[in-house]
Amino acid sequence: MAGNPAAQFASVFSNFGDKLKPLGSQVGKQFSQMQQYAKERMGNAGDVTELPAEYRELELKVDKIRTMHENLAKISRNFTLPHYDYEPPLTETVFDFATTVSDRATSLAAAGARAAGVNSPVGGGAKHREEIPPSLAHAFARAAILAAEDMGTQEPIGAALKKFAGVEEKVGNARLRMDAEAVTKFHQPVNKMLAQTVANAMRARKNVQSVRLTYDSCRARLKAAKPEHVDAVRQEMETAEDEFVAAVDDAMGKMKAVVENPEPLKNIADLVAVQLAYFKQAYEALAEVGPELDELQVTNEALLRHPTS
């Protein structure tokens, strides 16, 4: 037996109304906040609740730490980029792009041939693809070894080019290791600090601003309330005051988590250690080959002065 349609409608309407009450309360609170904010901007707000001095000091410190992290993150992003210290010539870039397009076209053609049951000719895909060097040192190494192979290593210049290519390869590989470690030990932790600890503090500060506007709006309405509404408005104001105090305490705790965090200094020390290891490896590699190049230079000058017939 079906229920009473009128009763069912009343029940549904009642449930819908219950769901709308929190939404209406939230909209009303946001309107009060905007109204209070507008009054403050126009200088008509009267008494505005001041935040504690310690809170304001923490705000300044957090802002400075956030700016520092944002700047360091922008710079350290270079460690994630390929050949950031080497700008390849336009022809090299175009060749790399053209080779990529050609390889993809060959792969698609081969896939189509396989789908049709036809043996695809081998040729285009077997062509060696020349990648852009990942660093300036690798670019030097490539140019030097190609020149050494072209000129031969019997002459001092060819032998020197081969040694130069070898040491630049070592330096370039050390640079790539430095980049990888700099990303994991510096760039990623800096971004994590921004995305988590600093972001939590900024959200808490934003909440303080919203709750403070609500609290001051309630205070203003209490002053202007009619006698019969005073008790209700006072209770609303006291609730807003409790929320404001709780929000301030929460924000101060999260800002202290930013200010008292030891990670930023550790991250800087880690980056310096990573760079030191790279420069030490580069120095040792270059120092080893330097005297050998000096000897080849002396030999070359002697040959130039006394050429053999």
The whole-number average pLDDT for the span 151-169 is 95
CB neighbours of 174 closer than 8 A, spacing ≥ 6? 278, 281, 282, 285
Residue 1 reports pLDDT greater than 50:
no
Full-model pTM: 0.73
Q: Coil, helix or strand for 152? A: coil
- Percentage of the chain lying above the pLDDT 90 cut: 56
d(CA 206, CA 195): 16
Are the beta carbons of 141 and 169 closer than 8 angstroms?
yes
Query: What's the pLDDT at 75?
Result: 97
Residue 94 pLDDT level (bands cut at 50, 70, 90): very low
Query: How many other CB atoms are found less than 10 A from the CB of residue 28?
Result: 10
Q: How many CA atoms, within 13 angstroms, populate the side-chain half-sphere of residue 204?
A: 24
Are the beta carbons of 267 and 75 closer than 8 angstroms?
no
d(CA 236, CA 217): 10
Question: Cα dihedral sign for 114, 119, 122, 126?
Answer: positive
87: which 2 tokens? 């700008």
Burial of 251 by CB count in 10 Å (0-12 exposed, 13-18 middle, 19+ buried)? Answer: buried
Listed range (39-43, 110-114, 263-267, 284-288) with the worst mean pLDDT: 110-114
Query: What's the pLDDT at 305?
Result: 85
Query: What's the pLDDT at 166?
Result: 97
Listed range (7-21, 44-58, 115-129, 245-259) with the worst mean pLDDT: 115-129
CATH class of the domain whose range is 47-106+125-298: mainly alpha
Tell me the angle at which helices 156-182 and 263-305 cross, rounded to the nearest 10 degrees: 180
